[in-house]
């Protein structure tokens, strides 16, 4: 990387290369990234440029610096943008509705992917959830939706879904209630049978009930 690039382009390039280092070296959330000195040598830029890029990434909550310990990859689920959006942007009812609808679009697509794939809809996790629901009368709501998103096998969708769920004030917190049981039973059963539209219909009825409970 040349040192004569405009500052804005240099910053973007440094951020891109930092991301590549994290991805290529498979540094997990909580993992330590190379020091300023090492990064400056590897990227062939001044330490002040590295420091500026790291400071910006830290302000966004993507990395965190521990005094005397170094710099670490932050857990995106604890991203500070969640707090920023919740405090300054997502207080508007219309914006919250948009977040909920965007989350539900991702969820409907994930349900469709799982229900229409014979291998995915026959995974033992669905039978296990259904059995728990029938025997114990309840399940962790988030367990069900998280499994559906994970099984759809799109990591980007999973990350976006987790963030939207946080923005939308965690709609799936807690155990399901007796009133939810018939909707959830139908929802899971229709996924297992590969009845996509019926599964989505049961999902819609269930989430409508959750919305009423929150009002």
pTM given for the model:
0.60
* Domain span including residue 41: 7-74
Burial of 181 (0-12, 13-18, 19+ CB in 10 A): middle
> How many domains is the chain built from?
2
Question: CA 138 to CA 194: how far, in whole Å?
Answer: 23
DSSP class of residue 76 equals G
Instruction: Assign residue 149 the CATH number of its domain.
Output: 1.20.120
44 and 107 in one domain? no
Q: Is residue 47 part of a domain?
A: yes
209 and 183 in one domain? yes
pLDDT in tens, 51-93: 888 887 776 667 888 877 888 887 655 555 545 444 444 445 5
Cα atoms in the 13 Å half-sphere on the side-chain side of 56: 11
**CA-based nearest residue to 151, from 120, 196, 107, 188:** 120
157 and 54 in one domain? no
pLDDT in tens, 3-36: 444 455 677 788 788 888 888 888 888 899 999 8
97 and 70 in one domain? no
Single out the residue in 74, 94, 126 at which a domain terminates: 74
């Amino acid at each position: 990387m040349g040192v004569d690039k405009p500052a804005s382009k240099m910053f973007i390039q440094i951020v891109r290369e930092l991301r590549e280092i994290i991805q290529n070296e498979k540094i997990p959330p909580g993992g330590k990234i190379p020091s300023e000195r090492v990064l400056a040598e590897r990227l062939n830029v001044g330490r002040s440029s590295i420091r500026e890029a790291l400071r910006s990434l830290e302000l966004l909550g993507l990395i965190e610096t521990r005094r005397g310990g170094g710099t670490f990859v932050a857990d995106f689920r604890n991203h500070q943008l969640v707090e920023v959006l919740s405090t300054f942007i997502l207080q508007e009812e219309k914006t919250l509705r948009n977040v909920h609808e965007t989350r539900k679009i991702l969820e409907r697509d994930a349900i469709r992917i799982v229900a229409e794939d014979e291998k995915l809809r026959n995974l033992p996790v669905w039978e296990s959830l259904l059995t728990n629901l029938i025997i114990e009368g309840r399940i962790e709501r988030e367990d069900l939706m998280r499994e559906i998103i994970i099984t759809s096998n799109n990591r980007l969708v999973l990350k976006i879904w987790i963030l939207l769920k946080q923005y939308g004030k965690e709609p799936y917190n807690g155990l399901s209630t007796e009133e939810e049981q018939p909707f959830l039973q139908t929802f899971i059963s229709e996924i297992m049978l590969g009845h996509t539209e019926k599964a989505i219909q049961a999902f819609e009825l269930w989430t409508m009930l959750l919305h009423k409970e929150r009002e």
